[in-house]
Amino acid sequence: MKNLTQATLGLLFFTTALFAASARKEITLQTQKINEAVHWTPEKVEVAPGEKIKFIVKHDLEGGFDFHGFFIPVLKVSEQVNRHEPKIVEVTIPKSLKEGDYPIGCQFHPKHVQATLVVKKAAPKVK
């Protein structure tokens, strides 16, 4: 019985470690209409160099454009997001990317208000 418990705990630890290694940080961005202009919101999202990100990008506004662009030049991301068709965009933030603010825009509509990708090194973990 004792051996079985140890084996179970070992397996649990193993699967937890495996999950942590493959986990991606999920960030949802969506179109929002503010004062007649379409924005990507939230207006700021924070990521760290080396981090694996899963962007979930949504356009659920009724009326106006049927699709918007999801454009992050620094990450070479350029996608089309159709209404009611959430787009999943998985990226790894390059380890070499400098801290700072980078635009998240729309390549189709010059008036589409950008959001900001804030790249910031993660605080060192306290052991």
Q: Which residues bind Cu ion (CB under 5 A)?
A: 68, 106, 109, 112
Cα–Cα distance between 84 and 66 in angstroms, integer? 9
Which one, 64 or 100, has the nearer CB to Cu ion? 64
Which one, 33 or 44, has the nearer CB to Cu ion? 33
Q: How far is the CB of 114 from Cu ion (least distance, A)?
A: 10
Cα–Cα distance between 116 and 36 in angstroms, integer? 20
Closest residue by Cα to residue 48 from 29, 19, 64, 24: 24
Helix (H) or strand (E) segment spanning residue 20: helix 2-22
Which one, 6 or 82, has the nearer CB to Cu ion? 82
Pairing of strands 67-72, 77-82: antiparallel
Task: Calculate ∠ Cα 65-70-74, nearest 5°.
Answer: 150
Which one, 112 or 115, has the nearer CB to Cu ion? 112
Q: How far is the CB of 4 from Cu ion (least distance, A)?
A: 57
Closest residue by Cα to residue 22 from 100, 99, 70, 90: 90
